[in-house]
């Protein structure tokens, strides 16, 4: 029997790095099929998260790693990716047309949760995923302003057609009221509105729906846990001790209602002076890492406090969209890739099958 079998090829992938292999986790698990003809091989690989513009470089790197093995003369690599639906809490099933719902919460306001959610969505889309954003902050909707979207959504067959922003499908109570109109509603009305915005919107073929939660651990969060099939949650905090206290409460809340926490992202980690380049941790340091260690969850990223982030959101053109080649945008994209990877490790939900395979033959 030839040594060039599936297990041997997997071992090559496992022990070798590839270009951009600084971010290609789980690559040994991508292998679907191997063809062997003497010392020539062909491999079929599929990543469980979006690869975006890294596909060509990864393909070349994988081929190089395989052909470096003494038993392999040449290798043909077919590399694609597919986002699967993952298990959700309780007996709930994934929503039709939405493979995965990711909730972004913080436990308190003022930590940049909405800006993080918006740039997370755009970063996932930049890697090729189909993404939607639901603004669940009924009292203080900010997503329309951050994405620069105005006007009322259309309806089709008594359902809401989501607004479009930079290719994202977007829904918010902010589209249905004037910007300066206060929502003087009690809890039951708020939770009913959330369910309508989610369930009566014509979402179409989404890999990820990012839900931007309001601060706290109240009615909307409870409704989310009981009624909405959530594949995972991301906790946003700053390094500040007070913010960490509330972030820990948010994490414990998600765990109590059986929503898996994918990790924590530390926002406003450091401030870099745009004039002199001096970097300082004005809100403290190490808070996100400490929370990650204390609760045994991944630290998904450390995002800086930046004037450019604030200015871009005020213009309705978030950093990942307005300055995609910047260091800031790359940090958001690394955070998004870590989030997608952590979700890909979760058990799959076999009740929903919406195929979307992207293949690049080289």
CB atoms within 10 A of CB 317: 17
Q: How far apart are CA 210 and CA 104, in angstroms?
A: 7
pLDDT of 114 reads 94
Instruction: Give tens-digit pLDDT for 303-354.
Output: 999 888 999 999 999 999 999 999 999 999 999 999 999 999 999 987 654 4
Would the CA dihedral through 161, 190, 343, 238 be positive or negative? positive
Instruction: Give tens-digit pLDDT for 255-292.
Output: 988 999 999 999 998 887 777 777 788 887 888 899 99
Cβ-Cβ contacts under 8 Å for 271 (sequence gap 6 or more): 279, 280, 281, 282, 304, 305, 306
Give the pLDDT band (50/70/90) at residue 139: confident
Instruction: Give tens-digit pLDDT for 88-119.
Output: 987 788 888 999 999 999 877 888 899 999 99
Q: What is the Cα 168 distance to its own chain's centre?
A: 13
- Could you give the C-alpha distances from 245 to 108, 177, 274, 353, in angstroms and in order? 9, 34, 31, 39
Q: How far apart are CA 239 and CA 231, in angstroms?
A: 26
pLDDT of 23 reads 54
Spatial contact of 250 and 217, defined as CB atoms under 8 Å apart: yes
Q: How far apart are CA 233 and CA 241, in angstroms?
A: 21
pLDDT > 50? residue 131: yes
């Amino acid at each position: 029997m030839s040594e060039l079998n599936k297990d041997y090829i997997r071992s090559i992938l496992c022990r070798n790095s590839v270009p951009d292999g600084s971010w290609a986790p789980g690559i040994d698990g991508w292998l679907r099929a191997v063809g062997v003809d003497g010392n020539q091989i062909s491999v079929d690989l599929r990543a469980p998260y979006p690869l975006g513009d890294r596909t060509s470089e990864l393909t070349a790197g994988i081929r190089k790693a395989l052909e470096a093995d003494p038993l392999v003369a040449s290798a043909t690599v077919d590399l694609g990716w597919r986002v699967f639906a993952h298990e959700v809490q309780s007996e709930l099933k994934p929503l039709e047309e939405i493979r995965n719902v990711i909730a972004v919460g913080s436990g308190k306001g003022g930590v940049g949760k909405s800006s993080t959610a918006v740039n997370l969505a755009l970063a996932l889309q930049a890697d090729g995923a189909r993404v939607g954003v639901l603004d669940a902050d009924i009292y203080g909707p900010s997503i329309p302003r951050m994405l620069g979207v105005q006007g009322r959504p259309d309806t089709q067959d008594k359902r809401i057609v989501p607004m479009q922003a930079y290719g994202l499908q977007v829904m918010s109570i902010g589209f249905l009221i004037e910007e300066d109109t206060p929502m003087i509603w009690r809890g039951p009305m708020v939770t009913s509105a959330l369910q309508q915005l989610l369930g009566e919107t014509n979402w179409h073929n989404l890999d990820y729906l990012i839900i931007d939660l309001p601060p706290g651990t109240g009615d909307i969060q409870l409704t989310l846990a009981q009624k909405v099939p959530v594949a995972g949650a991301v906790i946003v905090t700053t390094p500040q001790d007070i913010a960490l206290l509330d972030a820990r409460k948010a994490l414990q809340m998600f765990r109590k209602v059986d929503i898996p926490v994918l990790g924590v992202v530390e926002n406003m980690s450091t401030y870099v002076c745009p004039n002199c380049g001096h970097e300082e941790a004005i809100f403290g340091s190490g808070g996100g890492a400490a929370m990650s260690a204390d609760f045994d969850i991944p630290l998904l990223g450390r995002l800086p406090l930046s004037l450019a982030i604030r200015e871009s959101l005020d213009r309705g053109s978030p950093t990942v969209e307005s300055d995609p080649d910047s260091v800031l945008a790359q940090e958001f994209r690394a955070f998004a890739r870590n989030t997608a990877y952590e979700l890909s490790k979760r058990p799959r939900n076999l009740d929903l099958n919406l195929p979307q395979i992207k293949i690049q033959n080289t």
